[in-house]
Amino acid sequence: MNAFPEHERLTVVVAAFNEADSLPLLQPRILAALEDAGARFGLEGRVLYIDDGSRDGTWEAMCRLAAADPRIGLLRLSRNFGKEAALTAGLDRIEHGAALILDADGQDPPELISRFIERWREGYDDVHGTRLAREGEGWVKRGTAHLFYRVIGRLSKTPIPADTGDFRLLSPRALEALRQLRERHRFMKGLFGWIGFNRIAVEYQREPRSAGRSKFNLWRLWNFALEGITGFSTAPLRLATYLGLLTALVAFGYGAWVIAKALVFGDAVQGWPTMMAVILFLGGVQLIALGMIGEYLGRLYMESKQRPLYLVDTWLPPPGVGSVRVQGVGGESHAQREAPAGGQGQ
């Protein structure tokens, strides 16, 4: 069935959640880039859109795009599973060739695809876009993002390049490696870093969103940061140990001083404020340490349930592509070759 050698197909993977307004703007740009890549590198270009449980007509918009172009495949998840799971679902379904991950909102310019392919052809497995500027994003987001990359860079042993998102090209073997990582708490930037191989950055200017609004508010970003740190470092657990040691040391010194004072000056009962301070301080330290353990324990609990990473509602592969079942993958793939024009999933 596979008429194309590994180096001759590229699938652009786009996860979308409530992006009905952005997709029609993005699609012509992707197709133009793929035409260009086809002419320059003799590549067969494909597009795979994943509807991550949108509620605003994104699926209908996708169906219209797919009806107009046979190179487009569509995947609809049973509900909103989050960007990481949606991307995983898409990458699981790429049988041949490389994958290029792109945001649906036009913030990752498809015009760069040819530059990514050039690098891939030079032998790189993971070509990632590194943002030089972040247009249209407030200083809070830029500041916290900056801080986050520095903290995780220090804490984690896995190399996670700074200012790098999911915008990247993965070679067939990098894709294969990534598919083996089936953890439920998915911090994709870390997973990309973990697989290794030959990596190179392509710098680009990050544009503002073309339409719609960002799904990542500060609270989601905070949780995302927690995911990254707990998923790729156990340093917080060690911090609890050191904090405990330090407190014990201080307590020992203070105890010695109290005993010495009692021996020299007698034992007049006093020091209620000191006692309260010590009790409250110790209580606080213990709760923080418990909380840290809880963060890891909770994740362990979720992993132990072994639930699928996502569930598929509808899978409409482009013609000529069957459904793939990757072992141990969450979500059954129902191969349904219906005409996508109907705009309705199962």
52 binds Mg ion, rule: CB under 5 A: no
Q: What are phi and psi of 217, to 5 degrees?
A: -85, 180
Q: Which of 11, 107, 171, 333 binds ligand UDP (CB under 6 A)?
A: 107
> 120 is in the binding site of which of Mg ion, ligand UDP, none (Cβ under 5 to 8 A by kind)?
none
105 binds Mg ion, rule: CB under 5 A: yes
Nearer to ligand UDP among residue 80 and residue 247 (C-beta) = 80
Which CA distances in Å does 261 have to 229, 250, 267?
45, 17, 8
| Inter-residue contact 166 to 133 (CB < 8 Å) | no
108 binds ligand UDP, rule: CB under 6 A: no
Least Å from the CB of residue 216 to ligand UDP: 4
Listed ranges 1-9, 37-45, 67-75, 103-111: which one lies at the site for ligand UDP (CB under 6 A): 103-111
Q: How many CB atoms lie within 10 A of CB 329?
A: 19
Least Å from the CB of residue 122 to ligand UDP: 28
299: left (phi over 0), alpha (psi -120 to 50) or beta: alpha
Nearer to ligand UDP among residue 108 and residue 125 (C-beta) = 108
Query: Do β-strands 44-51 and 72-77 pair in parallel, antiparallel, or remain unpaired?
Result: parallel
103 binds ligand UDP, rule: CB under 6 A: yes
Output the CA angle 112-117-123, nearest 5 degrees. 140
86 binds ligand UDP, rule: CB under 6 A: yes
269: left (phi over 0), alpha (psi -120 to 50) or beta: beta
Listed ranges 151-159, 213-221, 228-236, 304-312: which one lies at the site for ligand UDP (CB under 6 A): 213-221
80 binds ligand UDP, rule: CB under 6 A: yes
Per the structure block, which two tokens stand in for 295? Answer: 């963060």
52 binds ligand UDP, rule: CB under 6 A: yes
Least Å from the CB of residue 199 to Mg ion: 23
79: left (phi over 0), alpha (psi -120 to 50) or beta: beta
Per the structure block, which two tokens stand in for 151? Answer: 């903290």
Residues that bind Mg ion (CB under 5 A): 103, 105, 107
Residues that bind ligand UDP (CB under 6 A): 15-17, 19, 52, 80, 82-83, 86, 103-105, 107, 214-216
